[in-house]
């Protein structure tokens, strides 16, 4: 049973893809084919059984599927090529997610939450390539893959910690306390996808609870650390294959080297990470809607119980409405993903300096002096400066708004299409009904995580209706003396860039950086 989505190539559906930041469309097609093969051979056949098992025991987890996903390239998708991964960004993640979610969104979320855990590390630039990212790639090659998670949400702060303005007033109870050589983390994180199975977690906490927005910091936590515990795994309504856990931190030590980027850059990191993860979440929702549509269409065409229904006009109208909604949802997430990759993030990885570093063998990059330099404050500041050079706060704000629009609309489409499909089959459909009922439960989460739809629509208002520019890039912080010995500060980003980089500054499509 094929739908129009499967018949049309990506370049037919999105003719402007190739022009967007040099995206290799043939490679994207190959990725889609690989994701589809994994979905059809491994994911869909196990979806109902895993949903039942995890419904009975939320802690049950299928590592065989993770291994199979690794073999199909679903784990290293976002890991930069110099670290041995697929080098993808939001577009690649979104294309893969739609395929997996048309089969089973719960299983897909294991890979999605892993990618979310990896995302903050990408902002750390080359300094992160040879650490945990390389370890993830190596673990996958040995057939014993490690997973990641990202922990932002707290018991009293969900929406509030996903927006830099709300963060100022959020009821945050976690705290990272400075000690010699690092920090001690205390508190609780809730609803963390992959939280109970992850080996590494990127997590956000303030280093000063009185100034959470200014001191929100991203840490990389080894879950074997003393003081870390999985307090419980939630009973979920949908997307059950991926466990959501409550995690507790009791004075867990994290060394200075495991601060991702720099202390206090966490609010900007969260904004960028969410901007990047919302198109794939919109694709999750689109995939769920497509899965429901394809199942109901297959049932109407092939099942004797549905005989004659396709001749009825109300059924034809319902199917046309579903196709229309799915088509629009896909256009929205591809628009958001390609805009983000092209105008907000792609510039960092395609910068000649970063590309040149990527050609240096990992064995050389791991030598003490090179590793030391890559991990230094100066290298970190250079990565931040590069981010400022490659994009602008306006471009990121607009990309975030487009991502939010795709995410909110996608979630609503998933709920509407799965509901309409269930209504069409009514009580008649046997096994297909069970799949549709599961997809309907799975769909609800797409309106909640990665920011509720309400929060996402407020981002659309800010970024598109009001054309606001959020302060969403890590600040240029270092003070360097210029030729006259005069100190340059954050207040003079242009001067900072001129003093610290050799590349000519790029200008975004609005005619300038903010
Ligand atoms: C299964 C599952 C998996 C998850 N996985 C992760 C994960 O891996 N990592 C992670 O960090 N988090 C994760 N989350 C958390 C998720 O991102 C939060 O649930 C979400 O941000 C909403 O927060 P909340 O549940 O505290 O709701 P609240 O923030 O309490 O919101 C309740 C309601 O109030 C509305 N609201 C709140 N503030 C505003 C406002 N300022 N303006 C308008 N409306 C507002 C919301 O839209 C919502 O309707 C997960 C959640 C679930 C359920």
Domains of the chain: 148-266 (2.40.110.10)
d(CA 316, CA 293): 12
Q: Which of 8-22, 261-275, 317-331, 386-400 has the lowest mean pLDDT?
A: 8-22
Top mutation candidate among 58, 153, 242, 457 for ligand 1, by most atoms within 8 Å of CB: 153
Q: Which of 118-127, 141-150, 227-236, 493-502 has the lowest mean pLDDT?
A: 493-502
Q: Which of 14-18, 237-241, 242-246, 262-266 has the lowest mean pLDDT?
A: 14-18
Residue 380's pLDDT band (cuts 50, 70, 90)? confident
Residue 18's pLDDT band (cuts 50, 70, 90)? low
113 Cβ inside 6 Å of ligand 1: yes
Instruction: Kindly state the tokens that stand for 307.
Output: 């005989």
Residue 403's pLDDT band (cuts 50, 70, 90)? very high
For residues 251 and 513, which has the higher predicted lDDT (pLDDT)?
251
Classify each residue of 224-263 as buried b or exposed e, where b means 16 or more C-beta atoms within 10 Å of its C-beta: eeeebebeebbebebbbbbbbbbbbbeebbbeeebbbbbb
Give per-residue pLDDT as tens, 292-314.
999 999 999 998 888 899 999 99
pLDDT of 492 > 60? The answer is no
d(CA 314, CA 310): 9
236 Cβ inside 6 Å of ligand 1: yes
Residue 252's pLDDT band (cuts 50, 70, 90)? very high
Give per-residue pLDDT as tens, 315-343.
999 999 999 999 999 999 999 999 888 87
Task: Indicate the burial class of 49 (C-beta count within 10 angstroms; 0-12, 13-18, 19 or more).
Answer: exposed
Residue 354's pLDDT band (cuts 50, 70, 90)? confident
Averaged pLDDT of the chain: 88
Q: For position 510, what pLDDT does the model report?
A: 37
CA distances to 42, 195, 244, 333 from 54, rounded to whole Å, are 17, 15, 11, 30
Residue 156 neighbours by CB distance under 10 Å: 13
Q: Residues 492-498: contacts with CB within 8 Å, 24+ apart?
A: 493/388, 496/385, 497/385, 497/388, 497/389
Q: For position 490, what pLDDT does the model report?
A: 41
Q: Which of 117-126, 342-351, 377-386 has the lowest mean pLDDT?
A: 342-351
Residue 3's pLDDT band (cuts 50, 70, 90)? low
Atom 42, ligand 1: residue with shortest CA distance? 455
How far is the centre of ligand 1, averaged over its atoms, from the C-alpha of 455 (Å)? 9
Q: For position 6, what pLDDT does the model report?
A: 58
Q: Which of 359-368, 463-472, 490-499 has the lowest mean pLDDT?
A: 490-499
Q: Which residues contact 216 (CB under 8 A, 6 or more apart)?
A: 167, 204, 205, 206, 264, 266, 267, 270
Q: Which residues contact 485 (CB under 8 A, 6 or more apart)?
A: none
159 Cβ inside 6 Å of ligand 1: yes
Report the Cα 351 to chain-centroid distance in Å. Answer: 22
Q: For position 59, what pLDDT does the model report?
A: 95
For residues 388 and 430, which has the higher predicted lDDT (pLDDT)?
388
Closest ligand 1 atom number to CA of residue 153: 11
456 Cβ inside 6 Å of ligand 1: no
Instruction: Kindly state the tokens that stand for 35.
Output: 């994701």
Residue 493's pLDDT band (cuts 50, 70, 90)? very low
Give per-residue pLDDT as tens, 158-202.
999 988 889 988 999 999 999 999 999 999 999 999 999 999 999
Q: For position 479, what pLDDT does the model report?
A: 46
Residue 446's pLDDT band (cuts 50, 70, 90)? very high
């Amino acid at each position: 049973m094929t739908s129009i989505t499967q018949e049309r190539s990506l370049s037919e559906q999105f003719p402007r893809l190739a022009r967007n930041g040099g995206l290799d469309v043939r490679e994207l097609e190959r990725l889609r084919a690989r994701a589809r093969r994994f979905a059809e051979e491994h994911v869909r056949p196990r979806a109902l059984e895993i949903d039942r098992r995890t419904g009975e025991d939320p802690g049950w987890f299928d590592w065989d599927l993770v291994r199979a996903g690794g073999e199909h390239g679903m784990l290293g998708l976002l890991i930069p090529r110099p670290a041995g991964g697929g080098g993808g960004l939001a577009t690649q993640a979104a294309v893969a997610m739609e395929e997996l979610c048309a089969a089973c969104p719960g299983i897909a979320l294991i890979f999605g939450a892993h990618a979310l855990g990896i995302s903050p590390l990408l902002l750390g630039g080359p300094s992160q390539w040879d650490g945990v990212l390389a370890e993830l790639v190596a673990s996958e090659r040995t057939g014993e893959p490690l997973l990641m998670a990202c922990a932002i949400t707290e018991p009293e702060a969900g929406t509030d910690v996903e927006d830099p303005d709300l963060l100022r007033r959020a009821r945050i109870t976690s705290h990272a306390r400075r000690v010699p050589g690092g920090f001690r983390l205390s508190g609780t994180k809730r609803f963390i996808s992959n939280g109970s199975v992850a080996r590494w977690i990127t997590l956000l906490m303030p280093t000063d609870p009185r100034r959470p927005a200014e001191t929100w910091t991203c840490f990389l936590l080894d879950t074997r650390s003393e003081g870390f515990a999985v307090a419980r795994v939630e009973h979920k309504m949908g997307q059950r294959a991926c466990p959501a856990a409550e995690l507790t931190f009791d004075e867990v030590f994290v060394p200075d080297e495991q601060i991702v980027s720099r202390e206090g850059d966490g609010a900007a990191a969260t904004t960028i990470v969410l901007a990047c993860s919302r198109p794939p979440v919109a694709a999750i929702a689109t995939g769920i809607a497509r899965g429901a549509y394809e199942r109901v269409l297959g049932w109407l065409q092939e099942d004797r119980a549905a005989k004659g229904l396709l001749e009825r006009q109300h059924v034809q109208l319902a199917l046309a409405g579903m196709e229309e909604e799915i088509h629009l949802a896909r256009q929205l997430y591809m628009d958001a993903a390609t805009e983000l990759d092209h105008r907000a993030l792609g510039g960092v990885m395609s910068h000649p300096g970063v590309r040149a570093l990527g050609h240096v063998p990992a064995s050389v990059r791991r030598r003490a002096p090179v590793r030391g330099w890559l991990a230094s404050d100066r290298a970190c500041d250079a990565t931040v400066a590069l981010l400022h050079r490659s994009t602008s706060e306006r471009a990121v704000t607009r990309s975030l708004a487009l991502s939010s629009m795709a995410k909110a609309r996608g979630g609503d489409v998933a709920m509407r299409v799965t509901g309409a499909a269930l209504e069409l089959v009514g009580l008649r459909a046997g096994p297909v009904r069970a799949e549709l009922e599961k997809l309907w439960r799975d769909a609800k989460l797409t309106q909640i995580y990665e920011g509720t739809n309400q929060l996402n629509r407020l981002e659309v208002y800010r970024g598109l209706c009001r054309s606001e520019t959020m302060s969403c890039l890590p600040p240029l912080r270092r003070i360097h003396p210029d030729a006259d010995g005069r100190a340059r500060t954050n207040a003079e980003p242009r001067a900072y860039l001129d003093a610290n980089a050799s590349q000519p500054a790029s200008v975004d499509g609005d005619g300038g950086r903010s």
